[in-house]
């Protein structure tokens, strides 16, 4: 199996993303660092990472990158350094938008209050909303990077006490 992950330096999200084809699934950055085949892997040291799935062949993994990343080219820059990376591809056309969580989540403030009142944890809500924002879509191939999500939800929880 081959696994595709992309990452982006949030210090300069206009640089685009780097896609890696790997021989092992990537690990998330929370808790026990679980293997994640598809979905948001987390942000560590201002490097945002997302897993795009498992593929039977390297050709299928390359095709996913080509389809997802309109301007992919063989990456000759520094890759993540993971020992299982076998290829890296750059894409400068996929830039992320960095949004303040308070702005992005303002419309669902009532829903957040209700869900907190019904026993959902701040951590669970942060994970859900960041995963949703970070999921690539055709309009935003690199997703939306939220800043201040945990603080925003904690403030709502504090208001409820």
Spatial distance between the Cα atoms of 68 and 160, rounded to a whole number of angstroms: 42
Please tell me the predicted confidence (pLDDT) of residue 22: 94
Spatial distance between the Cα atoms of 156 and 11, rounded to a whole number of angstroms: 28
List CB contacts of 143: < 8 A, sequence separation 6 or more. Answer: 48, 50, 96, 133, 134, 135, 136, 137
Please tell me the predicted confidence (pLDDT) of residue 158: 86
**End-to-end Cα distance, the chain:** 49
Please tell me the predicted confidence (pLDDT) of residue 29: 78
CA distances for 119 relative to 12, 32, 41, 78, 158, angstroms: 37, 23, 25, 44, 14
Please tell me the predicted confidence (pLDDT) of residue 14: 62
Please tell me the predicted confidence (pLDDT) of residue 55: 97
The full set of domain ranges for the chain reads: 2-91, 97-160
Q: Is the pTM value of this prediction over 0.75? A: no
Please tell me the predicted confidence (pLDDT) of residue 97: 61
In the predicted model, residues of the chain with pLDDT beneath 50 are none
């Amino acid at each position: 199996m081959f696994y595709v992950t992309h990452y982006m330096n949030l210090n300069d999200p206009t640089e685009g993303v780097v896609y890696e084809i790997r021989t092992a699934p990537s690990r998330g950055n929370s808790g026990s660092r679980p293997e994640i085949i598809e979905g948001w892997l987390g942000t560590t040291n201002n490097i945002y990472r997302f897993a795009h799935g498992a593929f039977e062949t390297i050709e299928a993994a390359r095709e996913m990158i080509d389809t997802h990343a309109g301007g992919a080219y063989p990456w000759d820059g520094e890759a993540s350094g993971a020992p299982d990376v076998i290829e890296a591809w750059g894409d400068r056309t996929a830039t992320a938008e960095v949004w303040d969580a308070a702005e992005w989540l303002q419309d669902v403030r009532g829903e957040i209050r209700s869900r907190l009142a019904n026993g959902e944890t701040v951590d669970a809500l942060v994970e859900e909303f960041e995963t949703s924002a970070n999921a690539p879509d055709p309009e935003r191939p690199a997703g939306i990077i939220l800043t201040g999500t945990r603080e925003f939800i904690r403030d709502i929880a504090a208001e409820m006490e």
